[in-house]
A and B are shown apart, each in its own frame.
Chain A
């Protein structure tokens, strides 16, 4: 112990104010910390960090077929003490080791974490985890944790929600297990060899709004086992997309559904009623939609006994519904195929990356028949043929065909469309009123359905609108839903008197009183990750203002047009005067749903500038 003290003491003399100068990771050994690590008070590259991962090393041992992890964490503030609590997924308690280090009177005090700090918790049924509550964790503490488990982990994160100073991964090449990996994230990692990677000073992962799912952006590897050797025989899991197609088509709970005999009778009835392809598609779709209610389960394959689920329970998971839809379409003579994909919160699917069945978690129906091409999903009563729910809008899907490997674009051009028309009348007595029509279609309709659903009564919805748009008093509201065409039309009678600014001899009025983007959706100053708006959108508004005859227009907003550099957005504002009527027309289009982080500022500016323009006013002088 005295020798150890001496070693640490000389280290202390050499080292200066402790920041982040250690990165010679391979020298770090479980069970021995340096004085520098103990004396660290903050992380230079991120002063807000309340804890940092000093070191995280993962190693797959090919002989033992076991994965080992050693992680060392430093607590920098009291608010970071929860990093002394770890949930570890491993089958045996004995595989876990931990040591806690604290400084006491400039001496490093070590405390081995015993079994009494490890608790086994049954998460669900037979799945257990271990919870580790490290003792004496406070500001300054360093904790060493090491554990192992058989096989490869699902993923290895180079980035965490606190900064990571040094992260190393070594996957020894094994005869017995072959795997592929997919890289996610935005932080650079260093490839040291075919089986070793390293990352240093990885900043903490901070979530931002408009991300498709945070797990797509955190820097990590995701692993898929492609084959393993079992009693001398190599078993391949998925080596190609074509293999995956065959696997799915041969599986009774996927390809098997495409035969469903119990759909023959309904198919005959549909064929008797319909003559065109469009009619056949609509009837087949409606039949499935009416006879199956989705149980909210996102699935790639059906459960067993689909016939019972369909005929008796009328409930099914998403795969059952859409595979039966595909089968029915085929039976009525419309060429259809299943298209499998990864939903937005399941991660991006890159066709050029190594194929893997785990990446797929959903299936929809795809029609390609004599010129008609569309994707269909019958899980929601609000959808129609050709429009997928937003969870599916995630790049490309794989067409499941015995002989071909084809990729289908899941964004088939449907957008969030809103059209607005208003006739405003301003009266001499200073009052004003308008009749405004809002028409939302495609994803605009679906958004409206979701939003309106929050309000039990129209009254509550109207109050919500009145608080969103200042100065309006909605005196009448009528709504017409056209479900088949994914369109809704709302007509409002609005009292705009509060919006008129009367300044004795001048009257000021801003015509866009219910503008779609009256708030800039982008408030953060900078952005790290791409912005994903899910689908393109278009908002068009035409406002005609009827002015009193004795009013004269002193000034009114002029026409302008704006376009984003990358062409992703455009804004046009047109104004026109005809006698005592003034007409304004605004069109704001976002043509691409994804913007890179370098395009963020321009995107933010785009909304900001268009909002300023839309808020401009007409100034009238009261004539004699």
Chain B
């Protein structure tokens, strides 16, 4: 062991790359699946930490609960240059933490061990045993789990008892070797020399590129209900079986539903959804196996709160009472998360919402939100594979995708500029589609959050928002309007007898696009369409000698037009553009970048107004 360590750190000191925050010298994991109710995991690893930025890799943190225990934790810290042992810890030195947000309570706790050693480089060696009692999926083995970590060597030994039926999925890795032992079949996976990766891409992309191994049981059991992961259909059946309790609604709720006019299903859905939003709030109570089986509808009505499953079930039950069928939809929610493995049915989800199939389309309901209109699912669950649960017919479908035709921003502005170049802007903005999400900070944020959110919308160097208001005209439609009164110093430059402004006086194009010239990639997560109509009022003082040329640019990424019109009183600049969803690197990025640069140049073009006198 000592020899290996010495060799490792010699290796480490030779190859330390200044940008590499940390490197895994060796990692060995063993999953010993003795039975479905008994899995023993042994992990040992040695990581060299090069700088403050890599320090977090030295901290051990893992959760435990009634299904998972952590034992025999040992941590040793060695000096990076000499290899000498400097500090030693065991489980008794670790902290047990359990804090969670104000709206949740759960009984899973975290074991946390921070070595508090800061002389770089240093090596942290950890060994730990974990016991799992009942699982629907084992933790994924992923030797390089995040950015800025390189891996010299890592291996997974997967031992499966002959009586246990599990399925394995390999992503970006192949089986190294296999042998039969007295404990069962032993499979070995290994990787070596994985370089570190800068944080240049989204986590979702990074994760999907990593070598990793998944293990799941083909049959499992939770709360007395047996399930199978042979197919999505089977998994769906299990979920339904777990959630097939009969329900009880209060008399008040029944009376409300009875009174609704039948016939217009959409209207009934809206009314019942609104009723629920007024009555209950989201609280996440995850005690025991709360993740899968949640509190009953009766309890939701008795307390006025519930988690995503309880609220979705409550909504489903109310619709059922109203004679409308609806379906659970399981999803892995998050704004930057990997997609579901479509060919590996099983529990890959962390959230549930509701789908109601109607004749012409499907209505989706996010049951944890008290303020969004029906059919609005937001950025947490859109555009990904989700599991539609239906008796005998559960299957993966694509959740709602918001395209550039849905996500619209319309701006109407009247601007007057005085002799000092100071501008007064009256701006009215309409947000539609996924841009409706911007209303969340207005509804939930405090004055300072709203102020900061508004300030960050504009790129002016010196401005003040004197007045702001917003309004959602129709509570049932995901759209809202906001009005701003802005004063901008220096929106125009008075030079001798001329007044000079830029062609674009509202938000510049790069405020709308996520791209990085230096790293060489562009990632338009969701398409967008923007339409501006800006009136620059002359107030009888100026006139435009020469109008800038109209601009019209198209590309595979989107299109952009800007037109100029002037009359006696004002100059009207109309801008319209759209960008489709897409991810561009290398050659495509060069093309994207040159397209955007043309737009930037057009927006920065100067409009020169001469004095009338």
Please measure, in the bound complex, the distance between the C-alpha atom of A503 and the C-alpha atom of B546, giving whole angstroms. Answer: 11
| Stretch of A63-71, A120-128, A173-181, A429-437 on the interface side | A120-128
Please measure, in the bound complex, the distance between the C-alpha atom of A463 and the C-alpha atom of B455, giving whole angstroms. Answer: 23
Tell me which residues from 353 to 370 in chain B have a Cβ below 8 Å from any Cβ of chain A: 370
Query: Is A84 among interface residues, defined by CB-CB distance under 8 A?
Result: yes
| Stretch of B98-106, B526-534, B564-572 on the interface side | B98-106
Closest-CB distance, A569 to chain B (whole angstroms) = 16
Say yes or no: A295 contacts B100, CB within 8 Å.
no
Query: Is A184 among interface residues, defined by CB-CB distance under 8 A?
Result: no
Say yes or no: B118 contacts A296, CB within 8 Å.
yes
Query: Is A136 among interface residues, defined by CB-CB distance under 8 A?
Result: yes
Give which listed residue, A78, A117, A121, A456, contacts B19 with CB less than 8 A. A456
Query: Is B215 among interface residues, defined by CB-CB distance under 8 A?
Result: no
Known A122-B96, A460-B518: A85·B461 in contact at CB below 8 Å: no
Say yes or no: B493 contacts A615, CB within 8 Å.
yes
Closest-CB distance, B114 to chain A (whole angstroms) = 10
Known A79-B371, A81-B281, A133-B305: A315·B118 in contact at CB below 8 Å: yes
| Stretch of B61-69, B206-214, B442-450 on the interface side | B442-450
Say yes or no: A293 contacts B119, CB within 8 Å.
yes
Say yes or no: B489 contacts A612, CB within 8 Å.
yes
A-B pair count, CB < 8 Å, reads 147
Say yes or no: A524 contacts B462, CB within 8 Å.
no
Say yes or no: B119 contacts A85, CB within 8 Å.
no
Query: Is B117 among interface residues, defined by CB-CB distance under 8 A?
Result: yes
Query: Chain B residue with minimal CB distance to A126?
Result: B96
Give which listed residue, A123, A297, A314, A523, contacts B97 with CB less than 8 A. A123
Query: Is B83 among interface residues, defined by CB-CB distance under 8 A?
Result: no
Query: Is A597 among interface residues, defined by CB-CB distance under 8 A?
Result: no
Say yes or no: A85 contacts B103, CB within 8 Å.
yes
Give which listed residue, A135, A207, A208, contacts B304 with CB less than 8 A. A135
Say yes or no: B95 contacts A523, CB within 8 Å.
no
Say yes or no: A315 contacts B119, CB within 8 Å.
yes
Query: Is A242 among interface residues, defined by CB-CB distance under 8 A?
Result: no
Q: Which residues of A contact B305 (CB under 8 A)?
A: 133, 135, 137
- Give 1 or 0 for each of A168-212: 1 = CB within 8 Å of chain B CB: 000000000000000000000000000000000000101110000
Query: Is A583 among interface residues, defined by CB-CB distance under 8 A?
Result: no
Please measure, in the bound complex, the distance between the C-alpha atom of A123 and the C-alpha atom of B101, giving whole angstroms. Answer: 11
Please measure, in the bound complex, the distance between the C-alpha atom of A312 and the C-alpha atom of B85, giving whole angstroms. Answer: 10
- Give 1 or 0 for each of A82-94: 1 = CB within 8 Å of chain B CB: 1011110000000
| Stretch of B39-47, B216-224, B463-471 on the interface side | B463-471
Tell me which residues from 426 to 479 in chain A have a Cβ below 8 Å from any Cβ of chain B: 456, 459-460, 463, 467, 470
Tell me which residues from 515 to 572 in chain A have a Cβ below 8 Å from any Cβ of chain B: 518-520, 523-525, 554-555
Q: Which residues of A contact B500 (CB under 8 A)?
A: 501, 508
Give which listed residue, B119, B302, B463, contacts A523 with CB less than 8 A. B463
Query: Is A483 among interface residues, defined by CB-CB distance under 8 A?
Result: no
Say yes or no: B118 contacts A555, CB within 8 Å.
no
Query: Is A139 among interface residues, defined by CB-CB distance under 8 A?
Result: yes
Give which listed residue, B100, B277, B490, contacts A615 with CB less than 8 A. B490
Query: Is B420 among interface residues, defined by CB-CB distance under 8 A?
Result: yes
Please measure, in the bound complex, the distance between the C-alpha atom of A466 and the C-alpha atom of B100, giving whole angstroms. Answer: 42
Q: Which residues of B contact A59 (CB under 8 A)?
A: none
Say yes or no: A525 contacts B461, CB within 8 Å.
no
Known A138-B281, A459-B518, A463-B518: A293·B118 in contact at CB below 8 Å: yes
Please measure, in the bound complex, the distance between the C-alpha atom of A124 and the C-alpha atom of B606, giving whole angstroms. Answer: 60
Q: Which residues of B contact A131 (CB under 8 A)?
A: 102, 105
Say yes or no: A315 contacts B96, CB within 8 Å.
no
Q: Which residues of A contact B509 (CB under 8 A)?
A: none
Q: Which residues of B contact A312 (CB under 8 A)?
A: 86
Query: Chain A residue with minimal CB distance to B604?
Result: A470
Query: Is A278 among interface residues, defined by CB-CB distance under 8 A?
Result: no
Say yes or no: B496 contacts A619, CB within 8 Å.
yes
Please measure, in the bound complex, the distance between the C-alpha atom of A617 and the C-alpha atom of B494, giving whole angstroms. Answer: 9
Q: Which residues of A contact B451 (CB under 8 A)?
A: 524
Known A204-B446, A456-B198, A463-B518: A85·B371 in contact at CB below 8 Å: no
Known A48-B447, A206-B446, A608-B489: A124·B86 in contact at CB below 8 Å: no
Closest-CB distance, B282 to chain A (whole angstroms) = 9
Closest-CB distance, B53 to chain A (whole angstroms) = 9
Say whether chain A's binding surface is mostly helix, strand, loop, or mixed.
Answer: mixed
Please measure, in the bound complex, the distance between the C-alpha atom of A555 and the C-alpha atom of B494, giving whole angstroms. Answer: 12
Tell me which residues from 289 to 304 in chain B have a Cβ below 8 Å from any Cβ of chain A: 302-304
Query: Chain B residue with minimal CB distance to A48?
Result: B447
Please measure, in the bound complex, the distance between the C-alpha atom of A84 and the C-alpha atom of B282, giving whole angstroms. Answer: 11
Query: Is B116 among interface residues, defined by CB-CB distance under 8 A?
Result: yes
Query: Chain B residue with minimal CB distance to A471?
Result: B604
Say yes or no: A611 contacts B462, CB within 8 Å.
yes
Give which listed residue, B100, B277, B496, contacts A78 with CB less than 8 A. B277
Residue of B87, B283, B421 with highest tally of chain A CB at under 10 A: B283
Tell me which residues from 309 to 362 in chain B have a Cβ below 8 Å from any Cβ of chain A: none
Q: Which residues of B contact A524 (CB under 8 A)?
A: 451, 464
Tell me which residues from 107 to 130 in chain A have a Cβ below 8 Å from any Cβ of chain B: 117, 119, 121-125
Give which listed residue, B119, B303, B446, B518, contacts A313 with CB less than 8 A. B119
Closest-CB distance, A214 to chain B (whole angstroms) = 10
Query: Is B410 among interface residues, defined by CB-CB distance under 8 A?
Result: no
Known A456-B198, A520-B462: A138·B96 in contact at CB below 8 Å: no
Query: Is A161 among interface residues, defined by CB-CB distance under 8 A?
Result: yes
Q: Which residues of A contact B99 (CB under 8 A)?
A: 121, 123-124
Say yes or no: B87 contacts A313, CB within 8 Å.
yes
Query: Is A607 among interface residues, defined by CB-CB distance under 8 A?
Result: yes
Query: Is A294 among interface residues, defined by CB-CB distance under 8 A?
Result: yes
- Give 1 or 0 for each of B482-514: 1 = CB within 8 Å of chain A CB: 000000011001011010100000000010000
Known A135-B304, A523-B455: A555·B496 in contact at CB below 8 Å: yes
Say yes or no: B118 contacts A84, CB within 8 Å.
no
Say yes or no: B304 contacts A137, CB within 8 Å.
yes
Query: Is B586 among interface residues, defined by CB-CB distance under 8 A?
Result: no
Query: Chain B residue with minimal CB distance to A87?
Result: B102
- Give 1 or 0 for each of B70-101: 1 = CB within 8 Å of chain A CB: 00000000000000001100000001111110
Please measure, in the bound complex, the distance between the C-alpha atom of A583 and the C-alpha atom of B379, giving whole angstroms. Answer: 54
Q: Which residues of A contact B496 (CB under 8 A)?
A: 554-555, 619
Please measure, in the bound complex, the distance between the C-alpha atom of A315 and the C-alpha atom of B117, giving whole angstroms. Answer: 7
Closest-CB distance, B50 to chain A (whole angstroms) = 13
Tell me which residues from 316 to 338 in chain A have a Cβ below 8 Å from any Cβ of chain B: none
Please measure, in the bound complex, the distance between the C-alpha atom of A60 and the C-alpha atom of B466, giving whole angstroms. Answer: 45
Closest-CB distance, B371 to chain A (whole angstroms) = 6
Query: Is B131 among interface residues, defined by CB-CB distance under 8 A?
Result: no
Query: Chain A residue with minimal CB distance to B100?
Result: A121
Q: Which residues of A contact B371 (CB under 8 A)?
A: 78-79
Please measure, in the bound complex, the distance between the C-alpha atom of A600 and the C-alpha atom of B157, giving whole angstroms. Answer: 65
Query: Is B474 among interface residues, defined by CB-CB distance under 8 A?
Result: no
Say yes or no: A207 contacts B448, CB within 8 Å.
yes
Query: Chain B residue with minimal CB distance to A604?
Result: B464
Please measure, in the bound complex, the distance between the C-alpha atom of A122 and the C-alpha atom of B489, giving whole angstroms. Answer: 53
Please measure, in the bound complex, the distance between the C-alpha atom of A121 and the C-alpha atom of B460, giving whole angstroms. Answer: 47
Say yes or no: B198 contacts A122, CB within 8 Å.
no
Say yes or no: B462 contacts A519, CB within 8 Å.
yes
Query: Is B167 among interface residues, defined by CB-CB distance under 8 A?
Result: no
Q: Give me the 8 closest cross-chain CB pairs, A-B, nearest first.
A: A136-B304, A520-B462, A135-B303, A122-B98, A463-B518, A119-B105, A81-B281, A519-B461
B residues with CB within 8 A of A = 19, 86-87, 95-100, 102-103, 105, 109, 116-120, 198, 277-281, 283, 285, 302-305, 370-371, 420-421, 443-444, 446-448, 451, 455, 461-466, 489-490, 493, 495-496, 498, 500, 510, 517-519, 604, 606, 608
User: A85-B283, A133-B103, A520-B462 given. 13 additional CB < 8 A pairs?
Assistant: A121-B99, A122-B98, A133-B283, A135-B304, A138-B304, A295-B117, A456-B19, A503-B608, A520-B489, A555-B495, A615-B490, A617-B495, A619-B495
| A-B residue pairs in contact (CB < 8 Å), sample of 20 | A79-B444, A119-B105, A121-B99, A122-B109, A125-B96, A133-B283, A137-B281, A138-B278, A208-B448, A293-B120, A295-B117, A313-B117, A315-B118, A520-B489, A608-B462, A608-B489, A611-B462, A612-B489, A612-B490, A619-B496
